[in-house]
């Protein structure tokens, strides 16, 4: 159910308020562009600065507007276990098909703390849970052994891996087997990630290159077809400058600027994030042009 090009959806703002009209339009854009699943209220959706009401609203809208055409994987993580449980319960109640739960940031829990955090969410909810392991943002790195312990629980099904360490794909596959879902959290290394056993990517770039990312994933996941693999490499080369440009400054500021150039939404972000510099704008524009998106 969860594979291919999964967009980590941006949250549009207007005058520092949730822009529901643009948000709904974005959802339908992905429904028409081959996106495999949508992640609302993740890091790219600026979840740390969404109010609880807004966080629930973007999940609810995503489920409602998608009408089960593609699965919704709700971002429900928090550095508060109680809050993560509450958000995951809400996502389950409104019809999300899974939850993406980030390792608790700032607290710096031990491996046992990470295990108990995810176990508590697992024990209080009934939808599939995907671990989001992103040491650069959360400061903690969940070990493969801890993931293996969690995979024994009823609802833990896999990981969004943003460690930037491709060897982790092999280590996790060896430890947990092929049934453990591995999704890349790094657009730039998604091709190699898939070739090593990944099932797709939760993508930032898909916000502005939805069709290309979908075509790329479809080709990259056809591992035994040399023609499709060649197509995946061709698309990957086309998108690589864009992948890199979207992280010159703190995400999602660059991708929101790119989205504004494509008339998908405004470039507005919430403090402490700010709009990108003029120099970054030039790089993003050039990358969009390289991908034939403008």
Does 8 reside within a domain?
yes
Residues 17-31: what's their mean pLDDT? Answer: 98
- 94 pLDDT band, cuts 50/70/90, is very high
The CB density around residue 126, as the number of other CB atoms within 10 Å, is 11
* Domain annotation covers residue 265: no
Check pLDDT > 90 for residue 192.
Answer: yes
Asked if residue 167 belongs to a domain, the reply is yes
Please write the tens of the pLDDT for every residue from 220-256.
998 788 899 999 999 999 999 999 999 999 999 999 9
Q: Which tokens sit at 218? A: 């479809």
Model pLDDT for residues 165-184, shown as the tens digit of each residue: 999 999 999 999 999 999 99
Per the prediction, the chain carries an average pLDDT of 97
Across the chain, the runs of DSSP E, i.e. the strands, are: 4-8, 13-14, 17-18, 37-39, 73-75, 98-102, 129-133, 156-161, 181-184, 200-203
Catalytic residue positions, numbered: 132, 160
Residue 48, SS3 per DSSP? helix
What is the domain extent for residue 36? 4-237
Res 223: pLDDT: 77
Tell me, yes or no, whether 284 lies in a domain. Answer: no
Q: Is residue 79 part of a domain?
A: yes
**290 assigned to some structural domain:** no
Domain count, the chain: 1
Q: What is the pLDDT of residue 225?
A: 87
The reported pLDDT for the residue numbered 226 is: 87
Do the domain assignments include residue 188? yes
Whether residue 268 is contained in a domain is answered as: no
What is the tens place of the pLDDT at every residue in 125-148?
999 999 999 999 999 999 999 999
Residue 73 pLDDT grade (very low, low, confident, very high; cuts 50, 70, 90) = very high
CATH number at residue 178: 3.20.20.70
């Amino acid at each position: 159910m969860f594979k291919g090009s999964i967009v980590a959806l941006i949250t549009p703002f207007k005058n520092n308020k949730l822009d529901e009209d643009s948000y709904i339009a974005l959802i339908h854009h992905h429904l028409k562009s081959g996106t495999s699943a949508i992640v609302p209220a993740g890091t790219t959706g600026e979840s740390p600065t969404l109010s609880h009401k807004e966080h629930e609203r973007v999940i609810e809208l995503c489920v409602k507007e998608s009408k089960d055409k593609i699965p919704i994987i709700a971002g429900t993580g928090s550095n508060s276990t109680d809050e993560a449980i509450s958000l995951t319960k809400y996502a389950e109640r409104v019809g999300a098909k899974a939850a993406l739960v980030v390792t608790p940031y700032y607290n710096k829990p031990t491996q046992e703390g990470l295990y108990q955090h995810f176990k508590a969410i697992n024990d209080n909810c009934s939808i599939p849970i995907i671990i989001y392991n992103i040491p650069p943002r959360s400061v903690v790195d969940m070990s493969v052994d801890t993931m293996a312990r969690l995979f024994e629980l009823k609802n833990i099904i896999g990981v969004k891996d943003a460690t930037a360490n491709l060897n982790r794909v092999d280590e996790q596959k060896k430890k947990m087997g092929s049934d453990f879902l591995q999704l890349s959290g790094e657009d730039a290394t998604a091709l190699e990630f898939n070739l090593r056993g990944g099932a797709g990517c939760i993508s930032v770039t898909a916000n502005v290159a939805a069709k290309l990312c979908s075509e790329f994933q479809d080709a990259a996941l056809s591992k035994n077809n040399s023609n499709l693999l060649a197509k995946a490499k061709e698309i990957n080369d086309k998108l690589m400058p864009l992948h890199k440009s979207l992280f010159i400054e703190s995400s999602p500021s660059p991708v929101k600027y790119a989205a504004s150039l494509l008339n998908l939404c405004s470039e507005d972000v919430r403090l402490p994030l700010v709009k990108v510099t003029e120099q970054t704008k030039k790089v993003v524009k050039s990358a969009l042009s390289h991908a034939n998106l403008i």
